[in-house]
Structure 1
Amino acid sequence: MMTFLLVCLCGGLGAMTRFVVNTSIQRWWNRSFPLSTFVINVIATFCAGIAAGAYAKGGVVDHSTYLLFVTGFLGGFSTFSTAINEMVFLLRTRKWAIGAAYIAATIIIPLLCVAAGWWIGSL
C-alpha cells in the first residue's frame, strides 16, 4: 500500500513539474510547433533511459526507486496523449509541414533519447 501511495505522490510531483515547465516555455514560445510538450517528452525519455540502464545494470538502482521515478514521477511528467492531440490539431488545421515535422520529431528524438540515456545509465 505504501508503494502505491508513493507512486501517486511522485506522479503528482511529476505533473506539477510538467505544468511549471510547460507554462515557462509557453511564455516565450509563440509559434505553431508545440515546443513545450516536445521538450517535456524529450527530457522524460532521456531520464527514463538513464533509469532503465541503471536498473538493468543491477545494484545501481533498486526496483522501488526505479518504480517511483519512472512510473511515478516520469509518468506524471511526460505527456504522450497531449502530443497526440497536438499532432491531430496541427493536421486538422492544415499545418502539414509543422505537423509532419512534429510527428517525426516526437517519434524519432525520444527513441534516440532513451537509447542515449540507457547507454549513460549503464556505464
Structure 2
Amino acid sequence: MTTLLICLCGGLGAVTRFVLNTSIQRWWNRAFPLSTFIINVIATFCAGIAAGAIAYHTVEQGTYLLFVTGFLGGFSTFSTAINEMVSLIRARRFAVGLLYICATIVVPVVCVALGWWVVSVAR
C-alpha cells in the first residue's frame, strides 16, 4: 500500500511541476531556465523542512516517505536542470550556463539548510 501511495504522490508532484513550469514559461522568455530553477529551489527548501521534521521526530516516517520520495521526487527535476546546463553550453551561452550551474548547486544547498533552520526555530 505504501508503494502505491508513493506513486500517487509522485504523480501529484509531477502534475504540480508541469503546471508551475508551464505558468512560468508563459511569461519568462530568456535564456536562463527560470522555471526549472524555481521548481528545484522550492523542492529543496521543502526537502530541508521535511528532513528537519523527521530528524526532530515531528512527522512519521511514512509521511516523510510520501512527501519526499513521492511528491518531491515527482516535483523536482534535477535531470532537466542538467540537460538545460548542457544545452546552454552547447549553444555557446557560456555566461548564462555558468551562472545556472553555480546557482543550481549553491542555492539548493542553502534552501535545504534554511528548511532545517525553519524547523529548528519552530520547535
Match status 1:9 vs 2:4: no
Distance 1:119 1:51 in 2: 11
Distance 1:6 1:31 in 2: 37
Q: CA deviation at 1:122?
A: 2.8
Task: Report the AA paired with residue 55 of structure 1.
Answer: I
Task: Say what the alpha-carbon RMSD is for the aligned residues.
Answer: 0.5
Distance 1:121 1:3 in 2: 26
Distance 1:111 1:122 in 2: 17
Match status 1:29 vs 2:28: yes
Partner of 1:109: 107
Distance 2:72 2:120 in 1: 19
Structure 1: unaligned runs, 5 residues or longer: none
Q: After the TM superposition, which segments of 4 or more aligned residues of structure 1 sit over 3 Å from their partners? A: none
Q: CA deviation at 1:54?
A: 0.8
Match of 1:98 among 96, 103, 107: 96
Secondary structure class of the residue paired with 1:122: helix
Q: CA deviation at 1:121?
A: 1.9
Task: Report the AA paired with residue 65 of structure 1.
Answer: T
Partner of 1:55: 54
Distance 1:38 1:99 in 2: 12
Structure 2: unaligned runs, 5 residues or longer: none
Secondary structure class of the residue paired with 1:36: helix
Aligned length: 121
Q: CA deviation at 1:92?
A: 0.3
Partner of 1:67: 65
- TM-score of the pair, normalised by structure 1: 0.97
Identity, % of aligned pairs?
Answer: 75
